[in-house]
């Protein structure tokens, strides 16, 4: 991969309803020398498009390259600047030899499906799994990772303990705003952000909608284009195309209001159910039979269990 067009073509070639990896080769210097690795994510909050996890890694004594690239707080960088840095990472000799990267693109459908499982899988679990898998993958490919820096939105302690358990022998640092403190996390953040931006740019609607990113916007619920998209592009039965995260309350509420109502099987929450220990007193009296109604013969269990009833489709 040498350019942003290559990145676009690659994303386009992959299925946009699951998740997939995109990774650089492990640079020669990252095999021989002790490396630090940064982890960050892009697109956690938006109601549209994938969430992308990114990692970047380089030899511990070569962080000067990151500073020369301009890796600083990625939120303070403009989109153009981020694109420029990624292109340098892909092209420049010094980077190719020293800076490796990997990204996982987690589709909106993958996110909705996880959050709407019978046993709900939270976004945090999806995130953590992705981060861990990326680190594992890079190590498996031969990168000599000794230090890991992770940006987190939640409380760092638990996350840090978990990662230390999984990666013994690696120094783990989990911190809020790691993106602006550690250049390697900032590099990871750039990989993630640029990948997400381009995933939106090449989004293909298999539902047949003739639209592109200039019409659905950034995906953040505050973006007027995104708002309009969420309000208008509703299919009465299916709801939304798979660009949308169905499990976001913005989408949920809009579908409740504007689409056909769909009810899935309810899952019992055992906690707040009172089990009636004793029968109500009136159950000991003969059942009251309403005037004129004859008692219905009870259906055999066989039929009940199979949802079989005597019906007349022509009624």
Partner 1 sequence: MSIQVDNNLKDTDNKEVFEQRVHYIPCKIEEDASANVEKYFETYVTQNGDKDLTATFRGHPLDGIKLPLPEGYRGVLLTEAKRPLNEDMERKFQVAGGFKEIIYWNWDKKPSKNDNVVRAMDWVDIAEAIHGD
* CA-to-CA separations, 198 to 10, 25, 50, 74, 134, in angstroms, rounded: 10, 21, 10, 16, 20
Residue pair 83/194 in contact (Cβ under 8 Å)? The answer is yes
Number of residues that bind partner 1 (CB under 8 A): 35
Q: Is 234 in the site for partner 1 (CB under 8 A)?
A: no
Q: Is 17 in the site for partner 1 (CB under 8 A)?
A: yes
Q: Is 307 in the site for partner 1 (CB under 8 A)?
A: yes
* Helix 183-201 with 79-91: angle, nearest 10 deg: 100
Residue pair 227/207 in contact (Cβ under 8 Å)? The answer is no
Residue pair 65/58 in contact (Cβ under 8 Å)? The answer is yes
Identify the bridge partners of residue 106 per DSSP, sorted by sequence position. 19, 51
The answer to whether 94 is annotated as binding is: no
Q: Is 112 in the site for partner 1 (CB under 8 A)?
A: yes
Q: Is 301 in the site for partner 1 (CB under 8 A)?
A: no
Distance CA 268, CA 29 (A): 55
Helices (H), 154-223: 156-166, 178-181, 183-201, 213-216
Region near partner 1 per CB under 8 A, out of 82-90, 126-134, 253-261, 283-291: 253-261
- Of 236 and 280, CB closest to partner 1: 236
Instruction: Write down the least CB distance from residue 269 to partner 1, Å.
Output: 17
Q: Is 38 in the site for partner 1 (CB under 8 A)?
A: no
- Of 17 and 124, CB closest to partner 1: 17
Interface residue with partner 1, options 210, 268, 269, 305 (CB under 8 A): 305
Query: 3-class DSSP state for residue 68?
Result: helix
Q: Which residues lie near partner 1 (CB under 8 A)? A: 17, 109, 112-113, 115-118, 206-208, 235-239, 241-242, 245-247, 255, 260-265, 302-303, 305-308, 314
Binding-site entries for a divalent metal cation: 40-41, 151
């Amino acid at each position: 991969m040498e350019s942003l067009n290559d990145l676009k073509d690659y994303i386009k070639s992959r299925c946009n309803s699951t998740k997939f990896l995109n990774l650089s080769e492990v640079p020669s210097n990252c095999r021989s020398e002790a490396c630090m690795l940064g982890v960050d994510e892009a697109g956690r909050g938006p109601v549209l498009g994938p969430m992308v996890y990114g990692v970047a890694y380089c030899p511990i004594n070569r962080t000067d390259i990151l500073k020369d690239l301009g890796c600083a707080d990625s939120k303070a960088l403009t989109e153009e600047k981020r694109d420029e840095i990624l292109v340098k990472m892909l092209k420049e000799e010094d980077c190719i030899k020293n800076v490796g990267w990997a990204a996982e693109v987690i589709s909106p459908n993958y996110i909705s499906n996880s959050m709407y499982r019978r046993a709900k899988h939270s976004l945090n679990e999806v995130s953590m799994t992705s981060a861990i898998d990326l680190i594992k993958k890079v190590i498996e490919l031969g990168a000599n990772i000794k230090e890991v820096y992770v940006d987190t939105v939640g409380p760092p302690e638990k996350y840090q303990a978990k990662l230390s358990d999984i990666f013994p022998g690696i120094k783990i640092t989990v911190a809020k705003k790691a993106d602006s403190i550690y250049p390697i996390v900032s590099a990871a953040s750039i990989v993630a952000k640029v990948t997400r931006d381009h995933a939106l740019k090449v989004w293909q609607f298999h539902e047949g909608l003739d639209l592109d990113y200039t019409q659905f916007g950034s995906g953040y619920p505050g973006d007027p284009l995104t708002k309009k998209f969420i309000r208008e592009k509703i299919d009465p039965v299916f709801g939304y195309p798979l660009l949308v995260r169905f499990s976001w309350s913005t989408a949920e509420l809009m579908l409740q209001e504007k689409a056909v109502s769909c009810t899935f099987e309810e899952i019992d929450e055992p906690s707040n159910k009172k089990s009636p220990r004793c029968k109500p007193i009136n159950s000991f009296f003969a059942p009251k039979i309403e005037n004129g109604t004859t008692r219905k013969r009870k259906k055999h269990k066989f039929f009940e269990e199979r949802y079989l009833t005597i019906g007349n489709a022509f009624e």
